[in-house]
Structure 1
Amino acid sequence: MTDSAAEGPLSGLRVIEMGTLIAGPFCGQILGDFGAEVIKLEDPKSGDPMRQWGRSLPQGLSPWWPVIGRNKKSVTVDLRKAEGQALARTLIGKADVVVENFRPGTFEKWGLSYESLAAENPRLVMARVSGFGQTGPYSQRAGYGLIGEAMGGLRHVTGEPDRPPARAGISIGDSLAAMHAVMGIMMALHARERTGRGQVIDAALYESVLAVMENLVTEYDLTGYVRERSGSILPGIAPSNVYPCAGGEMILIGGNGDTVFARLAEAMGRPELATDERYATHAARGARQGELDALIADWTSQRTLTDLLALLEAKGVPCGRIYRAPDMLEDPQFQAREAIVTTDHPVFGPIKMQNAFPKLSATPGRVRWPGPALGEHTEAVLREVAGMSPAEIEALRAKAVI
């Protein structure tokens, strides 16, 4: 396998990824997508649990691992052994970035504190992803994404008002923490250009969720209003909802701006609604949200999804279907922008997955290979990066370190 990442914007950046599951590995995935050399250290016996995760396991393998492990080099290291910790230190000494998402204190227990690593590699940037951050009274608690979503405020406002809080169908808390870690890494690398020194990025799951909660805290602070679950709407933002179509399908319509609502009213054959004092302004529509949604639902339920999409698109009203994977694969917009790409897998053969985002005009990211086999790159990395001889590598193997 050749590492054809020379054209990537992060080409020349070496990242050591240490961690499992989603938050740390998704951070590594993003960096690898844009050309960084990502060396993932995994337990020799089982590797990252993502190798076994998934609702379905075609041919006994996880369809999740090819995505989150893509563009990475897999090196097996037993970090519980002193020799494994020494090997990790050697590799980190040759790197620009190390990413870890263990419980705070684990790295220090292994003799891999940032202070000791930076003493040998002062330009090192370390991204630490955890449930509650590296400090504070909760720092030592185990923290998965669902806890971060709850503490950060997302769970309470998600779902129907008469039911318990719902979750998104993905691990959004972990993904947000990973993205904030990537942002922190980019900022730290930019700062390093001025100072010549690296630093630590402390990305907490609950804070990464809190960061996207808009004005939730400020609104309460100023008015005492506690935002609650509101189902498929945002209170006071109307019309913006999912509506029934003939044949049992659904359509999303966003017509909450004054000019857009006027175009929606015209499409409905009810242009007078746009000047009716009950609906003419944003505030008025918000005050009569349920009433207005009922009017629109009565109109949409008498028309097919296809007819509604054509009519509303012609009128310039934001609308859309609710997509599933099959819809994405068939959609011409996805195809035109190569939002989904095909890559070769040694067991599955050609497989489809999402591309690298966002798109860069001169140095775009791309999927170079899917998640590798466990330990696929161990010998090559130890030889080329750590500078070890075949005899030294064999000695580590004999001790079950790699």
Structure 2
Amino acid sequence: MTGPLSDIRVLETGTLLAGPFCGQLLGDHGAEVIKLEDPGGGDPMRQWGRERPYGKSLWWPVVARNKKSVTCDLRRPEGQELVRELVARSDVLVENFRPGTLERWGLGHDRLAAINPRLVLVRVTGYGQSGPYAPRAGFGSIGEAMGGIRHITGEPDRPPSRTGVSLGDALAGTMAAYGAVMALHARERTGSGQIVDSALYEAVLAYMESLLPEWEIGGYRRERTGPVLPNVAPSNVYPTADGAVVLIAANQDGVFRRLTEVMGREDLAADPRYATHGARGAHQTELDDIIGDWTSGQDSVPLLQALHTAGVPAGKTFTAADMLADPHFAAREAIVRVPHPDFGELPMQNVVPRLSATPGAVRWAGPELGAHNDEVWRGLLGLSDERVGKLAAEGVI
């Protein structure tokens, strides 16, 4: 294995997305991630993201990449005992059940820390491990709503919208992985593990910039503003003659002057209505109309080339097809192709961030259910054939 976490073993007991995304990030950077799945069908993500005519999830191979799949019924005492045996040999346990679930299964932090004081227990939930809302069921969409991102996403004359990905889950999973690495670092000084408490709504809230002081101190409530940020201009999407949509971000004074030169409208940079950041923000709509009228007469390729040459941040809005065909994506290997038994070769996003000396890697796509049972139960734990056979016959694994 390669990567900065190649000496770390992670047990992943969560399902769906937030906890497993944390496991994906740790696995991307070299951790040995052992995913414990229910013998009856595994993680529901195995059925999500279906795309005909394949009949199998195209999402699972991504979120479960670099993981080892073993089957284990955590609701059974025999399965809980297997987890305790694995904990003795592991560094991190990731879970995203409701608070109290692990405790009911005899897998609470006190019990696990007694087995392995160095264990880092990563807990991902909707509302955190404490507080009046802690017992509630929490999905990423609810965390997005409570954390504030839903209220300000979309067009002002329509109900709140969402991004086209599971943003709340990804943010909570990212914060969980970040917390796990920090706890592992602290363990080097203290010798002890600890609990990492990652709440969906708090992970979203962490990205909400100055939303809170703007309201309490400034009396300003952020609202839905479509593709723009109020008082930041020009920074918008603009139409082109060939039907493409181009984003131009020229809100800084120097950049705006370069934009006006490309437009052949240097007079705009000298106009008091547009000469400063504040003035452009106050006249945002009319400035966007001027730029939109200009871009409408340009084809997107020469338009973007002119903007790039002038040092004006601009770009088209990429689809998957654009990404797969783009030379910059190719040069940086931002997309990798991973062998898959059903799909032959599967394109997916590469590991981020990039480390120069100990880079992570996508080593394999999400495995079949129980693909690593022998390796873990017989190899790692050293269970006898008799015990493995009995556990299998009883449906525990």
Q: TM-score, normalised by structure 2?
A: 0.99
Secondary structure at 2:25's aligned position in 1? helix
- Alignment check: 8 A CA contact 1:232 1:242 kept: yes
Provide the residue aligned with 2:84 in structure 1.
89
Matched, 1:276 2:276: no
Structure 2 residue runs without a partner (length 5+): none
Counterpart of 1:34 in structure 2 is 29
Q: CA deviation at 1:223?
A: 1.1
1:247 deviates by: 2.2
Question: Paired residues, what number?
Answer: 397
Instruction: Supply the distance in 2 between the matched residues of 1:19 and 1:59 (Cα, whole angstroms).
Output: 26
CA deviation map 1:297-335 (0-9, x unaligned): 000001110111011111110000000000000001100
| Match in the other structure for 1:75 | 70
Q: Does 1:56 align with 2:51?
A: yes
Identify the match of residue 148 of structure 1 among 138, 143, 146.
143
SS in structure 1 of the partner of residue 27 of structure 2: helix
Is the deviation greater in 383-392 or in 173-182? 383-392
TM superposition shift of 1:57:
4.4
Contact 1:236/1:289, CA 8 A, preserved across alignment:
yes
For residues 52-82 of structure 1, give each alpha carbon's deviation from its aligned partner in whole angstroms, at most 9, with x where no partner exists.
0014144321000000010000000011111
Is 1:220–2:185 an aligned residue pair? no
Instruction: For 1:239 and 1:55, locate their aligned partners in 2 and report how far apart those are by CA, in whole Å.
Output: 40
Match of 1:257 in 2: 252
Query: 2:109 matched to 1:114?
Result: yes
CA distance in 1, matches of 2:331, 2:85: 44
Deviation of 1:347 (Å): 1.3
Structure 1 runs not aligned, ≥5 long: none
Displacement of 1:93 in angstroms is: 1.7
Structure-1 separation of matches of 2:105 and 2:385: 26
Alignment-derived partner of residue 377 in structure 2: 382
Percent identical pairs in the alignment equals: 62
Quote the residue 1:298 is aligned against: 293
8 A Cα contact 1:57 1:63, kept in partner: no
SS state of the match for residue 124, structure 2? Answer: strand
Q: Does 1:164 align with 2:159?
A: yes
Larger deviation: 83-92 or 237-246? Answer: 83-92
Q: In the TM superposition, what is the alpha-carbon distance from 1:387 to its structure 2 partner?
A: 2.0
Is residue 2:219 matched to residue 1:188?
A: no
- Match of 1:15, SS state, is strand
Which stretch of the first structure deviates more once superposed, 55-64 or 81-90? 55-64
Contact persistence 2:50–2:59 (CA under 8 A): no
How far apart, in 2, do the equivalents of 1:397 and 1:116 lie? 26
* SS of aligned partner of 1:368: coil
Counterpart-to-counterpart distance in 2, 1:182 and 1:65: 19
List per-residue Cα deviations over 1:84-139 (Å, max 9, x = no partner): 11111111121000000011111001000001100110000010000000100000
2:126 aligns with: 131
Q: Give the Cα–Cα distance (whole angstroms) in 2 for the partners of residues 396 and 222 of structure 1.
A: 61
Q: For residues 259-283 of structure 1, what are the alpha-carbon distances to aligned partners after superposition, in whole Å with 9 as ceiling and x for unaligned?
A: 0000000000001211111100000
Residue identity matched to 2:276? T
- Cα separation, 2, equivalents of 1:393 and 1:50: 26
Q: What code does the residue aligned with 1:232 have?
A: P
| Cα distance in 1 for residues equivalent to 2:197 and 2:108 | 14
Cα 1:396–1:60 shift into 2, 3 Å: same
Question: For residue 97 of structure 2, what is the aligned residue in structure 1?
Answer: 102
